[in-house]
């Protein structure tokens, strides 16, 4: 703006001051005494980016995507908000299902910890991994996923979990 005023492309501006600070932007335009404010403002709109227009094609697929429709700005915003709600709902349902699956596995691991000696004996006495899985399911009322998680876990991890558990119970009994 100051350059345009110096170059005389915009008539009527005496001074331009930048009074911007941390709270926001502020530009003060001081007009000459004989200047007409509306004409100066229109010239600023014309020669600067104070006012910019652009075209938007608001064509969108809505309501199941059967037919494209031209939307108003309000309707486009409503459709976007609804889309975001749907995305968040689906993501939350997915995360909930994953958490439920993990909880199911952890319940099986807790059963294994409670019966660690019998679990190890059952696995050792089984000839194949398949028979071990079937014996765990039958003897300890585990699901197939739980028994597979127990078989996949290394015995040293089971022993470490048992040590943590016994330390926790000792700490509880001493307090």
Domain definitions of the chain by residue range: 2-47, 102-170
pLDDT, one tens digit per residue, over 31-88 is 888 989 999 889 888 888 887 888 888 999 888 778 899 999 999 999 999 999 999 9
Residues 6+ away with beta carbon under 8 Å from 49 = none
Q: CATH says 102-170 is which class?
A: mainly alpha
The 3-class SS string of the chain reads CHHHHHCCCCCCEEEEEECCECCECCEEEEECCCCCHHHHHHHHHHHCCCCCCCCCCCEEEEHHHCEEEECCHHHHHHHHHHHHHHHHHHHHHHHHHHHHHHHHHHHHHHHHHHCHHHHHHHHHHCCCHHHHHHHHHHHHCCCHHHHHHHHHCCHHHHHHHHHHHHHHHHHHHHC
Give the pLDDT confidence score for residue 162 in this predicted structure: 55
**Protein fold of 2-47:** Gyrase A; domain 2 (3.30.1360)
Question: Quick check: pTM over 0.75?
Answer: no
Over 90: is that where the pLDDT of 94 sits?
yes
């Amino acid at each position: 703006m100051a350059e345009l005023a110096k170059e005389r492309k915009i008539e009527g501006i005496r001074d331009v001051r930048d009074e911007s600070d941390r709270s926001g932007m502020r530009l003060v335009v001081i007009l000459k005494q004989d200047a007409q404010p509306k004409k100066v403002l229109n010239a600023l709109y014309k020669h600067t980016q104070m006012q910019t227009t652009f075209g938007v094609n608001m064509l969108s697929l809505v309501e199941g995507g059967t037919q494209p429709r031209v939307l108003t700005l309000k309707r486009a915003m409503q459709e976007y908000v609804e889309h975001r709600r749907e995305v968040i709902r689906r993501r939350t349902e997915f995360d909930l299902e994953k958490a439920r699956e993990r909880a199911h596995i952890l319940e099986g691991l807790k059963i294994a910890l409670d019966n660690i000696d019998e679990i190890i004996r059952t696995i050792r006495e089984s000839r194949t991994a398949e028979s071990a899985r079937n014996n765990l399911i039958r003897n300890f009322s585990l699901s197939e996923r739980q028994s597979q998680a127990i078989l996949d876990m290394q015995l040293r991890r089971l022993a470490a979990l048992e040590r943590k558990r016994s330390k926790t119970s000792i700490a509880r009994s001493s307090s």
